[in-house]
Amino acid sequence: MEGANLSGDLRDPAKSIPLGTLAAVSTAFLCYVLLIIGQGATITREALQFDMNVMEHVTAVNGWFVVTGVTAACLSTALGSMFGSARILQAIAKDNIFPHTGFFAEGTFKGDEPRRGVVLSSLIAQGGIFLGNLDDVAPILTNFFLCTYFLVNLAAFLLELGNCPNFRPRYLSLIHISEPTRLLSISYAVFCLKKK
């Protein structure tokens, strides 16, 4: 989703977003496969089954590589979400989709960066932090992300189904094969959410 949020900065988004998505997913898949093989070859079965912090225990420098990697991944995701949501808010305000959002339509003079949206996003993020317990925030965030991905996939599916003239993806195989699959899997995930 971060690639789609930044599509306005790309020269050819219709080409760059699918290629970037495939490259990112392929790279992550390769890293996970190498991690699985490496762990299977070097860590005992009991440690893999019962030690939840096994990665910290077996890496060099007393596990600081793992802590640093997790911290960097969390910061990257948080900043990407915060700036992506600010760009989406700016686009919504520019298109005047919701009334009284015109304040967020203006960006910086150079680059049209949505600073007002970033401030609002950071205030909302701070509100989530002030709740104090990540376990209280996680279900809310999970539901927002599930709804977002569901609606994006539903919109792409309906645009393809309706033969909308302004919807012309270059990678048709991604739409024809993966959209129904993703819609079904996300719908299944929504219905399988565990209630407290």
Residues near 87 by Cβ (< 8 Å), separated by ≥ 6? Answer: 5, 6, 8, 114, 117
| Strand runs labelled E in the chain | none
* Cα Dmax for the chain: 60
Supply the pLDDT for residue 189: 65
Supply the pLDDT for residue 173: 46
Higher pLDDT, 1 or 52: 52
pLDDT in tens, 3-58: 666 666 778 877 777 788 788 888 988 998 998 898 889 899 898 889 888 888 88
pLDDT in tens, 104-148: 998 888 888 899 999 998 898 888 788 777 777 788 878 888 888
d(CA 31, CA 9): 28
Residues near 56 by Cβ (< 8 Å), separated by ≥ 6? Answer: 62, 63, 66, 67
Supply the pLDDT for residue 140: 81
Supply the pLDDT for residue 74: 87
Residues in the chain: 196
pLDDT in tens, 54-109: 888 888 777 888 889 889 988 988 888 888 888 888 988 998 888 888 899 988 88
- Strand (E) or helix (H) holding 2: helix 2-5
31-41 as b/e, with b when 16 or more CB fall inside 10 Å? eeeeeeeeeee
Sign of the alpha-carbon torsion through 20, 111, 144, 127: positive
pTM for the complete prediction? 0.62
Question: In terms of Cα–Cα distance, which of 46, 45, 65, 69 is closest to 56?
Answer: 65
Supply the pLDDT for residue 139: 83
Supply the pLDDT for residue 34: 93
| In contact, 58 and 43? CB cutoff 8 Å | yes
Question: In terms of Cα–Cα distance, which of 181, 156, 182 is closest to 171?
Answer: 156
Indicate the residue type of 147. Answer: C
Supply the pLDDT for residue 71: 92
Residues near 5 by Cβ (< 8 Å), separated by ≥ 6? Answer: 80, 83, 84, 85, 87, 88
